[in-house]
Amino acid sequence: MNTLITYLDYPFVRYALIVGVLIALCSSLLGVTLVLKRFSYIGDGLSHVAFGAMAVAAVTGLSDRMILTLPITILCAILLLWTGQNAKIKGDAAIAMISVGALAVGYLLMNIFPASSNVSGDVCTTLFGSAKILTLTKSEVILSIVLSVIVVILFVAFYNRFFAVTFDENFAKAVGTKTNILNLLIATIIAVIIVLAMNLVGSLLVSALVIFPALSSMRIFKCFRSVTIFSACLSVFCALSGIILSILLQTPVGSTIVVTDIAAFIICTVAGKIRG
């Protein structure tokens, strides 16, 4: 306990906690939509794209990497959604192509133009999140907070419409809801969330942050609103306890959070079974 209090005196630990909570909140919100719309794989593919973009940013020596990763990831999200609908190359194949391609190019770039002497360390950090506590610059913290707030506001504002296109896109379209714009909005928000969450848990583990709280919540709750609210609470709780555990146990922050998410999923599954 004392260690924790000592740590909380450092501003970067407080930053990590604030940003961690916000990211966890955002990433869980659209989780239900993603899982139910069978979009989970898009999230996975995009995180690889974000890795590639991150590598490019590292190579070009940008101090604020989100400036590059954010637009590239958003662009790919829109592209993937588009190809998914007008399938010349089938959606999942397109995603596999783009995501594996981005991984390869990213790794290659990082090796050819090493930004630091420890290339494998850099790669590992980008893939799995920082090995120790999360360190963020002040501008990254501010950007994360602003983006998170925008995501939450958008989600609340379009909650009813998101529900409608998730439950039945054809019906929504038939009664005149602009589903294309909504899908575009969903894809953009996912891209933003992935870029944000990559700081916290690394690009390979991002999907876990999006999917686990939603799946856990769906085991227990029976209406969309409670599923959404509970998955947000659960995600925040897991992120908080994950970050604190990682400080106390000196473990990598990303995987610790994901492990707490897994534990929560198991508990929820059992609870759901008992409830019937």
Report residue 150 as tokens.
Answer: 């925008």
Residues 175-234 that bind another protein (CB under 8 A): 175-177, 218, 221-225, 227
- Note whether 171 binds another protein by CB under 8 A: yes
Selected binder of another protein within 117, 170, 249, 274 (CB under 8 A): 170
Nearest in space to 126 (alpha carbons), one of 42, 201, 40: 201
- What is the C-alpha to C-alpha distance for residues 109 and 88, in angstroms, rounded to an integer? 30
Report residue 178 as tokens.
Answer: 């602009």
Instruction: Give the distance from CA 111 to its chain's centroid.
Output: 26
Nearer to another protein, 61 or 176 (CB): 176
- Note whether 161 binds another protein by CB under 8 A: yes
- Note whether 37 binds another protein by CB under 8 A: yes
Nearer to another protein, 118 or 180 (CB): 180
For the CB of residue 44, give the shortest distance to another protein in the complex, in Å.
19
Instruction: Give 131-150 as a DSSP string.
Output: SSS----HHHHHHHHHHHHH
For the CB of residue 235, give the shortest distance to another protein in the complex, in Å.
16
* Contact region with another protein (CB under 8 A), list: 36-44, 49-57, 84-92, 196-204: 36-44
Q: What is the CA radius of gyration of the chain?
A: 19
Report residue 172 as tokens.
Answer: 């929504």
Distance in angstroms between the alpha carbons of the first and the last residue of the chain: 39
For the CB of residue 147, give the shortest distance to another protein in the complex, in Å.
21
- Note whether 79 binds another protein by CB under 8 A: no
- Note whether 86 binds another protein by CB under 8 A: no
- Note whether 173 binds another protein by CB under 8 A: yes
Nearest in space to 183 (alpha carbons), one of 39, 73, 87: 39
Selected binder of another protein within 108, 174, 266, 270 (CB under 8 A): 174
- Note whether 90 binds another protein by CB under 8 A: no
Report residue 229 as tokens.
Answer: 């609210």
For the CB of residue 169, give the shortest distance to another protein in the complex, in Å.
9
- Note whether 36 binds another protein by CB under 8 A: yes
- Note whether 32 binds another protein by CB under 8 A: yes
* Contact region with another protein (CB under 8 A), list: 22-30, 152-160, 203-211, 250-258: 152-160
- Note whether 274 binds another protein by CB under 8 A: no
For the CB of residue 219, give the shortest distance to another protein in the complex, in Å.
9
- Note whether 162 binds another protein by CB under 8 A: no
Alpha helices (runs of H) in the chain, residue ranges in sequence order: 2-8, 11-29, 31-36, 40-60, 66-85, 91-112, 119-128, 138-157, 159-167, 169-174, 179-201, 206-220, 224-249, 253-275
The residue to which tokens 């139910």 are assigned = 36
Q: What count of other Cβ atoms lies within 10 Å of the Cβ of residue 65?
A: 22
Residues that bind another protein (CB under 8 A): 32, 36-38, 157-161, 163-164, 167-168, 170-177, 218, 221-225, 227
